[in-house]
Amino acid sequence: MNPALCVLILLMVADLRAGDSDLSARVVRTTIREGKVDMSVRLFREFDWRRANYISKKTFPGDAPPWLPNPPRTRHQLVFGVGGIFEWFQFDFIEIGNYKFVDDFTVTAQRFGGNVIVGVFDPVKNVLLFDGLEYVPELPIPEIKIKASNDLVNWIDISGPKEVSREFNWGDSMSVSFDHKDRDSEYFLIEINNK
């Protein structure tokens, strides 16, 4: 690698929302070696547990033929939708019902034709306890575009990141990797948009 290489990483964050809060992002680590750039990008967004979808920490055997070695595992999913309707995906079936937020950290959910389940969110652990299982927020990975420039005026699109981490926890960094050619100086612009 050229020792005179100068890299400036710029972030452009657009339309990332978790409860209409101020948006910001920061590159917390950058490594450039052997034609590849690896970065960790941390998004700072206010978190509203009431607007998140959840996935169980525990995994369960998937629906697969008994002869299949190492059958896939699945997780339960919980979605608090619009209009007070929730959806609870378990294995290969869905339960639907009504929900209501009782206080700052409690939700009651009544399945259609079923019992009432009380869920409690723990803001310290960032976990929702629902029907005896721990659920964590399922955060979508935003769309990421990368541009490069040698003068901060003319930007060219890089063919997109080669690798983006598939899931991340609230407050953790996303990992972004892309190919890079050695140049004397180069600037990168990373656009982060909600899908």
Structure tokens at 8: 């400036």
My answer on whether 43 and 93 are in the same domain is no
* Model confidence at 168: pLDDT above 80: no
Q: What is the pTM of this model?
A: 0.63
pLDDT tens track for 34-91: 778 887 777 766 678 888 889 999 988 877 777 888 878 888 999 998 889 999 998 7
User: Residue 81: exposed, middle, or buried by beta-carbon count in 10 A (0-12, 13-18, 19+)?
Assistant: exposed
Q: What is the pLDDT of residues 9-50, one digit of tens each?
A: 454 444 444 443 444 677 778 887 777 888 777 776 667 888
Question: Is residue 173 one of the residues assigned to a domain?
Answer: yes
Rounded to whole angstroms, how far apart are CA atoms 179 and 32? 9
- The confidence score (pLDDT) of residue 162 equals 58
Q: Is 157 a domain residue? A: yes
User: Is residue 120 located within the same domain as residue 148?
Assistant: no
Q: Is 134 exposed, middle or buried (0-12, 13-18, 19+ CB in 10 A)?
A: middle
Percent of the chain with pLDDT over 90: 24
Cα first-last separation, the chain: 35
187 vs 18 pLDDT, higher one: 187
Higher pLDDT, 143 or 169: 143
Token output for 105: 């950290």
Residues 10 and 32 in one domain: yes
Q: Are residues 149 and 126 in the same domain?
A: no
Total structural domains in the chain? 2
Q: Is residue 65 part of a domain?
A: no
My answer on whether 153 and 179 are in the same domain is: yes
Domain of residue 161: give its range. 6-47+142-193
Domain edge (last residue) among 117, 138, 159: 138
Last residue of a domain, one of 95, 112, 138: 138
Is residue 66 assigned to a domain? Answer: no
- The least confident of 5-14, 104-113, 162-171 is 5-14
1 in any annotated domain? no
Cα→Cα distances 44→38, 47, 111, 125, 173, Å: 20, 9, 35, 18, 10
